[in-house]
Amino acid sequence: MLRLGRNDLCWCGSGKKYKKCHMEKDMKIYEYEEQGYVIPHYKMLKTKEQIDGIRKSGVITKGILDMVGEKIKVGITTDEINSWVHEYTISHGGIPATLNYCGYPKSVCTSINNVICHGIPDDTVLKDGDIINVDVTTILDGYYSDASRMYIIGEASEEAKKLVRVTKECMDIGIDTVKPYGGLYDIGRAVEKHAKANGFSVVKDYGGHGVGLDIHEEPHVDHYAKHGKGMLLVPGMVFTIEPMINAGDYHCVTLEDGWTTVTKDGSLSAQWEHTLVVTENGTEIIV
Ligand code: MF3
Ligand code: CO
Ligand code: CO
């Protein structure tokens, strides 16, 4: 965190002098640094205006996930889901953030069964018993929101249904650990504990991330247990929690397309994702 002088303008953009604005709160933050927390750069703390913008973007992302839930069924292709997402986004004034992102060719990620993440929509037809993650990232007026859900197609196996349920619980438990002046690593500890208690494993190669002014920002959010406290969670931080949970082993393999990431052992994988903001009293799920 940048150390400002008492009479400098506050970093938050309020136009007030630092001593009349965030100085006291920042002094409290420096005390946490001495306890072993990593302190976020002040640029990671979103202003009220930015959070409002991310919230509006989130309305589109939520609308898309609801719409997909109503239309998805046996027999449709992942390319059709891509068209639904693309057209909904554009018609609501947004831009699909994944399209052309680092060469990614589509407006959404669709990850079926053993695909962990970044599945690319194509002519694959959804069949009875499939489980699919649809991951939507929207830009509206320059603000990014990111969320994903699982959809069960027809009648899935008991194991698949349990994986989808437990993965949602992992996300919710991770979100419940988030509190102002808590530690980032509390999330991974709680998520991994619940996954392991159910006989599942947590993917280590991918995680959540800061989001809002760009698709992927700091901090990186691990969903497995790490030693230490990690970054201090400060009001205004916006990030995703998006555990990827495997029915078998946690190892990943990325296919030749450079994106599609599957379980090494061929087991099923599930993922749920929310974007949230740390508030003075707790957490707000943005989408
Ligand atoms: N929405 C994804 C995430 O949760 C990012 C997808 S980037 C893509 O981080 F290029 F793979 F689409
Ligand atoms: Co994300
Ligand atoms: Co996402």
Domains (range + CATH), the chain: 41-285 (3.90.230.10)
State residue 188 phi and psi, 5-degree precision.
-60, -40
222 is in an annotated binding site: no
* pLDDT > 70? residue 209: yes
Nearest to 189 by CA among 157, 217, 228: 228
For residue 1, pLDDT over 60 is answered with no
Which of 78, 89, 100, 117 to probe ligand 1 with, by most ligand atoms within 8 A of CB?
A: 117
Residues 6+ apart with CB under 8 A from 51: 212, 236, 238, 277, 286
* Residue 2: predicted pLDDT: 60
- Cβ partners under 8 Å of residue 251, min gap 6: 263, 264, 265
Is 216 known as a binding-site position?
yes
Q: Give the residue whose CA is nearest to atom 11 of ligand 1.
A: 118
Task: Tell whether residue 218 is among the known ligand binding residues.
Answer: no
Q: How far is the CA of 218 from the centre of ligand 2 (A)?
A: 12
Predicted confidence (pLDDT) at residue 72 exceeds the cutoff of 70: yes
* 240 φψ region: left (φ > 0), alpha (ψ -120 to 50), beta (else): beta
Q: How confident is the model at residue 181 (pLDDT cuts 50, 70, 90)?
A: very high
Q: What is the pTM of this model?
A: 0.96
User: Which atom of ligand 1 has the smallest separation from the CA of 273?
Assistant: 4
* pLDDT band at 3; cut points 50, 70, 90: confident
Ligand with minimal distance to 65 CA? 3
Task: For residue 243, say if its preceding peptide bond is cis, omega within 30 degrees of 0.
Answer: no
The mean of the pLDDT values for the chain is 97
Is the shortest distance between the CB of 274 and ligand 1 below 6 Å? no
Is the distance from the beta carbon of residue 104 to the nearest atom of ligand 1 less than 6 Å? yes
Cβ-based neighbours of 271, under 8 Å, separated by 6 or more = 111, 116, 117, 133, 135, 148, 150, 167, 242, 243, 244, 245
Query: How many Å lie between the centroid of ligand 3 and the Cα of residue 217?
Result: 13
CA 272 / ligand 3 centre spacing (Å): 9
